Structure 1
């Protein structure tokens, strides 16, 4: 169901974008980077979190880590990651295939500025062996994302891109 909802999303909103299905798992940043031939930072990971009573998605570069202080400041509360079952129920996508496309229910989507280091990123596409190649700004526009700055870069320093 999840892969189909992503394909339906692209058929309606961006028919020129093709969902890539890999023969191996792309469920982690490392596996996805290997399967798709890109550097880990270019993988756009989607994180589902709860802040207070709100659930939201944050899309960030694959090698970035969330900074809890910056996240509290940006979203007004302590971020809590949802467990795999909650993520699947809320997004309609399994962990490892979570993306901001074809969601089971509308959720606010935020793109971290860390993504702007790349013109094109590779987010998952609703299954643990699928992805799409998409321009950063186009992805944000398609999902109505707001930009945020809540990540540390790969070396642990605060991202300032």
Structure 2
């Protein structure tokens, strides 16, 4: 199970005890916010895309949407999400638990600027009923991200 991969990943940083597991689903921004008793915008949602068969993850604030024009300008391609039935095979985590930790080797991770307005955010931790609270510097460190990007709308 992917949460076990994430737990092992965080164990190398002595952070595995920071993973939160719920008795309820946290598979969507709304459900995660309810489980965590926080605002939905603090949920760090991780979306999976393909660019010329290269899988990428973009971690954004929970109150955003991808801005197609910004995405195309940055990546030089139209936003194409990975089909739901292929996400787990390509990324290493199933929908509802996709996170930027312990992903498959060829997956590139980007962080959207919409996250920078928070001290801490809550990305998933590999299952549809888990999360971990991280500061922005911790998210940068543990996600092994390539760079900050600006590809979202609806939050400014």
Same fold (TM over 0.5): yes
Q: Is the 8 A contact 2:72 2:78 kept in 1?
A: yes
Cα separation, 2, equivalents of 1:8 and 1:153: 35
- Between stretches 121-130 and 134-143, larger displacement belongs to 134-143
Alignment of 1:58-69 (within 5 A): 58-69=58-69
Q: Is the 8 A contact 2:54 2:107 kept in 1?
A: no
Unaligned 5+ segments in structure 2 are none
The structural deviation recorded for 1:17 is 5.4
State the 4+ residue runs in structure 1 displaced beyond 6 angstroms. none
Residue 24 (1) aligns with residue 15 (2): no
Using structure 1 for the length normalisation, give the TM-score.
0.91
CA RMSD of aligned residues (A): 1.4
Cα separation, 2, equivalents of 1:151 and 1:70: 7
Tell me the alpha carbon deviations over residues 24-56 of structure 1, each in whole angstroms, 9 at most, x when there is no partner. Answer: 000000000000011000000000001233210
Using structure 2 for the length normalisation, give the TM-score.
0.94
Q: Which residue of 1 aligns with 2:153?
A: 152
Unaligned 5+ segments in structure 1 are none
